[in-house]
């Protein structure tokens, strides 16, 4: 019965969001209320669970989201993202423009939510396709693959960071394992995947994007642009290595743990970006703060939806459904990594939003991490892989891809849903392979 009520709650979410077009945050709150009451929680306990879920989720992620949005906006407004892209294209050549765009997406979007990274890169995709005189999808598919892979597997991207916090996994270790999976995922689902669609003649919807092209003399240098974009990753990697070498009780170890915190690493990156992309080029504080404020406006609803997902997750945890599923899972003859991937994938197909899926799945899967002998870092990656499986029309990303690239519904399903499914399967294979040598 507990599972039936949970399934009904997920169906309720699917119906209210996809059919009745109810806002995701409102739908999640209603679903949390109904599932909590249906599972037998006292009505006041349901309310406190929802509050705890929203607060616990956003207390950390709101900082990451806010700082990530600011960093992305500063990169876009300064022309740094354009500089990175054009330099890579010049180095790779027109023939390999897809690989250049894949690497660009990897670099630019490792700290940004999918939607933020997409909006930053889509003008560059159109510009590059025009300048290089190549089909739009030859540039677009590699970009979509790389930002989707970063979204699934690579801290300090907020999604993997959120799962790592819930599962108490080490961020630096998760990043290292994630890179092992992410690189082959992009190599397969990126430029090579375009060959299945190279006969398509697609054009973006008229007026769908305004491309702002900077003059070359106004751009920051490539070295400065790429260094600033990678600051959070470099800090976290260096800190992780240092902490494993330096004595745990030393002041130096404490220092590296401090700066290696995702919040602090991103904060440092934002202040570096304010100088490298702003003050160094004569921009005033008011202009830079205006960019930062504008960036945060665009993620307000994302924050609320994430909070709603946290509320749903907390109700599942407090009602004991997750514990019940964990007990059933311990007797199933299937790897817990596969089980986590399947649970997350099913929720993903039903709900749509990868971000919401992560938090809903976490509430169910957390007891598995606690009760079974699993590696928490690999469990983070298994959930990350499942969270991108078969992107359905209930996900805003589905429609962003469709409209920006001028695709039909059928084309979007074949290209975009197919790509996300491929990445999800590659991710699971990678996790299972790593589990053979990592315990």
Question: Which residues in 173-209 are b (16+ Cβ under 10 Å) and which e?
Answer: bbbebbeebbeebbeebbbebbeebeebeeebeeeee
pLDDT of residue 350: 65
- State residue 42's pLDDT score: 93
Burial readout 56-84 (b: 16 or more C-beta within 10 A, e: otherwise) = bbbebbbbbbbbbbbbbbbbbbbbbbbbb
The DSSP symbol for 16 reads: I
Residue 145: predicted pLDDT: 95
Residue-level pLDDT at 285: 94
| Structure-token match 């300048």, residue found | 131
Q: Is the whole model's pTM more than 0.85, yes or no?
A: no
| Predicted local distance difference test score (pLDDT) of residue 329 | 58
Instruction: Write the pLDDT tens digit of every residue in 205-262.
Output: 555 555 567 787 888 888 998 888 888 878 887 887 888 789 888 999 999 989 988 7
Contacts of residues 326-335 at CB distance under 8 Å and 24 or more positions apart, as own/partner, are 326/367, 326/368, 326/370, 326/371, 326/372, 327/371, 329/368, 329/372, 330/371, 330/372, 335/432, 335/435
pLDDT tens-digit profile, the chain (439 residues): 677 888 888 788 778 876 888 887 898 899 999 999 998 999 999 999 999 988 887 887 788 778 888 887 888 788 887 787 778 778 888 788 889 888 888 877 776 667 767 776 776 787 778 777 788 899 999 999 999 998 889 887 777 888 888 888 888 889 899 999 999 999 999 999 999 998 887 776 555 555 567 787 888 888 998 888 888 878 887 887 888 789 888 999 999 989 988 789 889 999 999 999 999 988 999 999 998 898 887 678 778 877 887 888 788 878 877 667 656 655 667 888 998 898 888 878 766 677 777 877 877 787 777 777 789 999 999 999 999 998 877 677 787 788 778 888 788 889 999 999 999 999 999 999 999 998 7
Q: How far is CA 317 from the centre of its chain?
A: 23
| Side-chain half-sphere exposure of 383, counting CA atoms within 13 A | 32
pLDDT score for 182: 93
Among left, alpha and beta (phi > 0; psi -120 to 50; other), residue 220 is: beta
């Amino acid at each position: 019965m507990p599972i039936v009520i949970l399934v009904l709650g997920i169906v309720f979410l699917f119906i209210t969001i996809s059919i009745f077009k109810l806002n995701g945050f409102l739908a999640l709150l209603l679903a949390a209320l109904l599932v909590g009451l249906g599972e037998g929680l006292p009505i006041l306990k349901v309310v406190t669970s929802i509050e705890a879920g929203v607060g616990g989720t956003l207390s950390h992620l709101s900082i990451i989201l806010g700082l990530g949005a600011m960093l992305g906006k500063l990169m876009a407004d300064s022309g740094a993202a354009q500089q990175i892209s054009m330099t890579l294209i010049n180095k790779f050549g027109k023939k390999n423009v897809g690989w250049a765009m894949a690497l660009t997406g990897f670099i630019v979007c490792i700290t940004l939510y999918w939607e933020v990274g997409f909006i930053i890169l889509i003008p560059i995709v159109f510009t590059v396709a025009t300048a290089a005189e190549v089909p739009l999808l030859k540039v677009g598919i590699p970009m979509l693959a790389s930002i989707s892979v970063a979204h699934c597997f690579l801290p300090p991207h907020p999604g993997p960071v959120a799962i790592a916090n819930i599962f108490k996994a080490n961020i630096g270790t998760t990043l290292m394992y994630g890179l092992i999976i992410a690189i082959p995922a992009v190599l397969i689902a990126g430029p090579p995947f375009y060959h299945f669609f190279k006969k398509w003649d697609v054009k973006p919807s008229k007026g769908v994007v305004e491309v702002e092209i900077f003059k070359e003399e106004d751009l920051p240098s490539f070295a400065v642009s790429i260094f600033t974009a990678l600051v959070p990753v470099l800090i976290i990697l260096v800190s992780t290595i240092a902490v494993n070498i330096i004595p745990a009780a030393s002041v130096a170890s404490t220092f590296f743990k401090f700066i290696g915190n995702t919040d602090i690493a991103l904060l440092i990156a934002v202040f570096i970006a304010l100088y490298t992309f702003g003050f160094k080029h004569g921009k005033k504080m008011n202009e830079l703060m205006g960019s930062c404020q504008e960036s945060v406006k665009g993620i307000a609803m994302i924050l609320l939806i994430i909070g709603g997902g946290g509320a749903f997750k907390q109700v599942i945890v407090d009602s004991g459904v997750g514990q019940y599923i964990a007990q059933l899972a311990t007797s199933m003859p299937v790897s817990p990594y596969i089980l986590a991937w399947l649970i997350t994938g099913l929720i993903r197909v039903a709900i749509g939003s990868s971000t919401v899926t992560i938090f809903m799945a976490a509430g169910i899967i957390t007891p598995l991490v606690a009760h079974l002998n699993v590696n928490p870092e690999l469990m983070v990656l298994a959930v990350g892989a499942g969270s991108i499986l078969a992107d359905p029309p209930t996900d805003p990303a589905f429609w962003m891809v469709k409209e920006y690239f001028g695709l039909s519904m059928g084309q979007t399903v074949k290209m975009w849903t197919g790509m996300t499914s491929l990445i999800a399967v590659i991710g699971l294979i990678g996790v299972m392979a790593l589990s053979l040598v990592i315990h």
